[in-house]
Every structure is written in structure tokens, then in C-alpha cells.
Amino acid sequence: MKTRTIIPPFIVLLLPATLLVLASCMKAPKCPYSQSSKVASVAEVDSIKRYLAENSITNAVQDSSGVFYVTSNSGQGSTPDVCSSIYINYSVYRFGYLTSFDSNTTPTGFACTLGQLIDGVKKISTKIKAGSSVTMFIPPSLAYGATEMRDGNGMVILPANSYLKFQMTILSVQ
């Protein structure tokens, strides 16, 4: 003979409420990144304006942070925030140099969280969509500042207080 267990109606009504309470107690991991409030000095902005004029770059847009940028291809994908995982291709140059000191141009791109990148890149990347290509002109205060960058052999590849030309394509946003 089969026995049936009857669940009292009040248990059935309490189950969804209990699950709701338990779900609200589980917190999503907090994003450790935030958008910087830093802005370039007037002298840095003037230096970038001079560089742009000397190189006949007339279509650069000035962000309120002091970063200038030119969008060469507007994408149709998602716009990242500082906590987004992004896949990018990029080349980074010091003002006045034709050779990139850092780059990634692979089919799948370089994977990172936007918040891990320098402030100048974070400021502009949150304004463009996946599929976009942009060239950013970044002052030292929104790049590496007074820190010089060295390669694996200890050679300085980017002196302190360098201005950057940062070309980037956002391949995808997750």
C-alpha cells in the first residue's frame, strides 16, 4: 500500500518567501573598480592640443577629463562599464614615436576587465560600443604618470610623464 505525504498549505505558501529571503542574502561579488575623477591639468591639455595641431589632427574630440579621441569606426555592440570584461586589440605609442611600445592584434584580442586599464582608456571606453575603433591622446596624469615602464630586461620602454597615443578596437564586451 502506497502512502502519500501531504504538505500543509502554509508550508507551500512559505516556500517562495523563504527562497526570496535566502536569495536576497546572497550578494553578488562587488566590482572593485570605479571610474576615476582625475582630470588633466591645463598644461597637459595644451600639450595635447599642440601635438594634434602639429600633426594636422583636426577631428579629435576633447573629453571633460582632458583626453582627446577620434572614433574611426562606430560599433553597434554593447557599451562597457569599468567592471565589464572586454576583448581588445590595441597599439600604444609615445607622442612623437612611430614604433609601438606595446600592442596586441590577435584575432581573439586581449582579454581584460576595463577597470584594470589606465584612467584615460577607462574614460573613453565607456563612451563607445563594441566594434568601435578609437585613437586616444592621453596625458601623463591619466596614463602612467611619474612611473616609468620597463621591459622584462629592465630597459625603460616608456619614460615617466609620457603622453600616449592609444589606438584600440573593442572586439567584444561581456
Question: Where are the chain's structural domains?
Answer: 32-173
Model confidence at 16, pLDDT cuts 50, 70, 90, reads: very low
Q: What is the pTM of this model?
A: 0.82
Q: In angstroms, rounded to a whole number, what is the distance separating the alpha carbons of residues 20 and 151?
A: 52
Q: In angstroms, rounded to a whole number, what is the distance separating the alpha carbons of residues 154 and 169?
A: 29
**Residue 160 pLDDT > 90, yes or no?**
yes
What DSSP assignment string belongs to 65-103?
Answer: TS-EEEEEE---SPPP-TT-EEEEEEEEEETT-SS-SEE
Nearest to 104 by CA among 153, 158, 150, 167: 167
Inter-residue contact 44 to 135 (CB < 8 Å) = no
HSE, CB side, 13 Å, CA atoms: give it for residue 82.
16
Average pLDDT over residues 55-59: 98
Q: Dmax over Cα atoms in the chain, in whole Å?
A: 94
Give the domain 32-173 fold.
Chitinase A; domain 3 (3.10.50)
Model confidence at 25, pLDDT cuts 50, 70, 90, reads: very low
Average pLDDT over residues 119-128: 96
More confidently predicted of 117 and 21:
117
Model confidence at 6, pLDDT cuts 50, 70, 90, reads: low
